[in-house]
A and B are shown apart, each in its own frame.
Chain A
Amino acid sequence: MFSFIFSQFAFYFSLLVVLFWPGYFLTRMLNAKFGFFTKLEETVLSVGFSIFVSNSLMLILGALQISLTRWSLLLTIGFFSLLCFLLEKIFFQKKPNYPGTDSLIFSKKQILLTCLILGLAIFFRTLYLKDSILPSATDLGHHMYWTNLIVQKGEIPNYQQKNILTSGATYTISEPQNISDFIIGEHLIFAAVALISGLSVISYFPALVLFIINIFSLLAIFILTLRLFEKNKERVTIAIFTLFLLGPLFAITPPQAKFISGGVVGNIIGNLLLPLALYFFLRAVREKNKVLLVLALVSTMNLFYTHHLTAFLFTLSLLLSILLVLIFNFKNALVLLKIWSKMLFSLPVMGSLLLMLIFAFTVYTPTYITNQAIKTVVGAPKKIEHTGLTLTQFKDALGEPRLALAVVGILILGYLLIKKTRSRKNNFTYEQLPFQLFILAGWIGIITIISLFPQLIKIGIPSARVANYGTYPFSITASFCLVALFFQTNKHEKHQLFIKAPLFFYTLSLTVAYLLTAGFFDNVANLTQTTAPKVINQTFNASQFLASKLAPGDQVESDHIYIKADAWTKVFLMQDYNFPLYRANLERYENGIDRNEKCTLNMLSNPSAPDSQKCFTDLNVNFVMVNSKNDAVQFQKNSAFWQIYANDEINIYLRK
């Protein structure tokens, strides 16, 4: 128990150092100079900026060939934080008055309601995670391999793996080849926490870090919603409804708790960084502020160093938003471009862009750029999962009530957009432009198009994954719809609601009942039993046995179909990302894209066949790890294999 308590202290200390302090001191310094942010914004931005600062400092250390250790990290992050603190105290003592920060004040009831909603959001996630907190998910296993590599070697990893090559009738293991599936920002913060706290990657900390980031992503959406509807009297109500639709309702389905335990690291971090990037762009454009534009670019860079899919969707959303602004203000497009150009071609913005380019080309270039991975997503969708969802699948991904309300919300917003555009036809003022509507339209538009009709823009990315990103903008729009229908008052503060008494009570009750039933039913439906810990324990035990018996040159074959938590075997062995070799899901051998070899399939399914024997010999596969109930028989029949390990779930065979 004592060691557990100590590990907890070490864990929270490392969290403060990696995920809070550097961003907090940076934000406080910025706030002391410019006064941009409220206390709530300061807190949420601290996490986003901390990810940026920790990642950047680690990459710089890596580029300088300085080993990543507990002390090198503590010193650099500590020095950065101290520098920001001193700059704030010495140079920026007087807090300036910046317009817009005072309007985001909450009443006591609103504070209580917000905290209760967040408490419920935390509660439902905890309820699910308690049965799935033991590391077992495939994605998390993959990510923790790279994290562990950083921890063990103390350097920035090369994302490479060895593959099976077929030349004529001979099979060989290739030299390490570049892979583009991973981005450095997905692993650095975990490595930093592991190094500082001393915790193993096979522990509670990866899931808890994701849990914390997930909760902060809800807060990021909260502050974004407040800023989107800054000029709306009901901004706080809209933000609270958004939090309600995202936090406690549908708390488990992707991209929420299931992505936390599933270790969908890029998505979880991306869902924090994307709203923050939008937040800064919205404010920079609306307030015509160069410093905010610099912060928007920093947030975008943060996103590009963390998750390519999120960054890609963000870029497309932003481009569509800009396009919509220009189309809806066609007559004044030149004026708009002039204003934006003035901001863009200013010293702080161009200087920052230059620094970012220098960083990208001298310190670290993301793997998807060096490997030209962008080519793989551009073009007509090839895989079945990339060809678009049906409307029913889209509805399931977003949650029925959220989608239903959002559709009504989109209609109301569309009406408002057209109304505002017409009213400004002969009276153009930049300050009156409804940027929030364009940003929402661009965000929702891109996600809808790629989820439902990816062929239209020739992009091949997983449609269901993209649809999951829709939960955020659709929830904001659904909340706007709720407020517009039930709580919006007129300009003169009189309660002239869209839906009036006596219908008000019944419709509101029905809508809330519909939301609660659908959202909580979904939570309950997803609280099903996950894989029992003892099953995962046995995979870990078999992996530990293998790790202790392997000799140099030995190759191992495992199975992804029947062995639970098989992806974690590689974290125990730490030989290569593609070690052990494994039999993948069968469709991967059939789609002609994922698997171009059959050795990994045949060696398990039919080990006695001549071709399988050749695979064993050519690849030097000496150990085979299989599920004892599904795949033991074919090995027990073959006298060339010794059964050297057995537990309730797994047998290990040695090829003689």
Chain B
Amino acid sequence: MTYAKKVILALALFFLGCLFYLAYTQQQQQDYNYGKSWWSIYFADPRTNDLSFIIENHSSEKNFHWEISVDKNPLSQGDTTAGLGEKKKITVKALQDIAGKKINLKISTPKSSKEIYKNL
């Protein structure tokens, strides 16, 4: 192999290495779970009166506490666990006499909390 070919081949390999590194880095960055610390909550069926909800966990937190309140009055609560990358559905039984009231769902971990609600 000539000198020129060796140098050009080295450059091409370096370029390929950089492309590979960037692709691998991007894969990790796009992975919701790789080194990330966030979670989301949402109603399983947002359009109806069903209050069942889902915790989608992409953090190192495992223990979640949830609390349902009606017009700011606590009604029920519970604890659940969700591992990294898990979508945990919590089924909430149909509540009585809640027409015209704001049903609030507060989900918390030792570090943070989030709320979603429906005005029924």
Contacts and interface: CB of A to CB of B under 8 A. Distances in A.
B117 A130 contact: no
Nearest to B20: A8
Nearest to B28: A533
B42 A545 contact: yes
B117 A108 contact: no
B36 to A, nearest CB: 5
Contact of A643 (B40, B58, B116): B116
Given A538-B40, A646-B116, A647-B40, A208 B4 contact: no
Nearest to A649: B38
B64 interface: no
A646 B115 contact: yes
Given A639-B119, A643-B116, A645-B42, A8 B11 contact: no
**Which of B4, B8, B26, B43 neighbours the largest number of chain A CB atoms within 10 Å of its CB?**
B26
Interface string A93-133: 00000000000001010011001001100110010011001
A112 B47 CA distance: 65
B22 A133 contact: yes
Contacts of B18: 122-123, 126
Contacts of B46: 549, 642, 644-645, 654
Interface in B1-44: 3-4, 7-8, 10-11, 14-15, 18-27, 29-30, 32, 36-43
B86 interface: no
Given A203-B30, A533-B29, A646-B115, A211 B40 contact: no
Contacts of A207: 22, 26
A637 B38 CA distance: 26
B23 A126 contact: no
Contacts of A181: none
B38 A648 contact: yes
A122 B14 contact: yes
B108 to A, nearest CB: 12
A115 B4 CA distance: 10
Given A4-B24, A133-B22, A133-B29, A647 B38 contact: yes
Interface bin, chain A: 35 or more
A652 B22 CA distance: 32
B89 interface: no
B48 to A, nearest CB: 11
Contacts of A211: 19, 22
A122 B22 CA distance: 12
B3 A115 contact: no
A553 to B, nearest CB: 13
Interface string A207-251: 110011001000000000000000000000000000000000000
Given A126-B18, A654-B47, A4 B102 contact: no
A543 B26 CA distance: 19
Given A203-B26, A642-B117, A654-B46, A130 B39 contact: no
B87 to A, nearest CB: 11
B58 A537 contact: yes
**Looking at A126, A211, A641, which has the most chain B CB atoms within 10 Å of its CB?**
A126
A11 interface: yes
A551 B47 CA distance: 10
B56 interface: yes
Nearest to A200: B30
Contacts of A646: 40-42, 114-116
Given A115-B10, A208-B23, A644 B32 contact: no
B4 A106 contact: yes
Contacts of A112: 7
B115 A130 contact: no
A111 B4 contact: yes
Interface string A404-438: 00000000000000000000000000000000000
A656 interface: yes
Contacts of A208: 19, 22-23
Nearest to B58: A537
Contacts of A641: 119
A54 B21 CA distance: 27
A130 B25 contact: yes
B9 to A, nearest CB: 10
B88 interface: no
Contacts of B11: 115, 118-119
Given A639-B119, A654-B47, A11 B14 contact: no
Contacts of B47: 549, 551, 654
A486 to B, nearest CB: 25
Interface string A512-545: 0000000000000000000001101110111001
A644 B47 CA distance: 9
Nearest to A636: B117
A208 B20 CA distance: 10
Contacts of A542: 40
B10 to A, nearest CB: 7
Contacts of B115: 643, 646
Nearest to B9: A115
A115 B41 CA distance: 51
A134 to B, nearest CB: 4
B1 to A, nearest CB: 13
B3 A111 contact: yes
A134 B116 CA distance: 29
A639 B101 CA distance: 10
Contact of A644 (B19, B37, B43): B43
A108 B3 contact: yes
A202 interface: yes
A656 B38 contact: no
Interface string A540-572: 111001000101000000000000000000000
Interface in A60-117: 106, 108, 111-112, 115
Contact of B39 (A111, A126, A647): A647
Contacts of A648: 38, 112
Interface in B40-75: 40-43, 46-47, 56, 58
Given A126-B18, A211-B19, 8 more contacts: A111-B7, A134-B26, A204-B22, A204-B26, A533-B30, A545-B40, A642-B116, A647-B38
8 closest residue pairs by CB, A with B: A647-B40, A204-B26, A533-B29, A644-B46, A645-B42, A134-B29, A133-B26, A126-B18
14 contacts: A111-B7, A126-B22, A204-B22, A205-B23, A208-B22, A215-B15, A537-B30, A538-B38, A545-B40, A642-B46, A644-B42, A644-B46, A645-B41, A646-B116
Interface of B: 3-4, 7-8, 10-11, 14-15, 18-27, 29-30, 32, 36-43, 46-47, 56, 58, 102, 112, 114-119
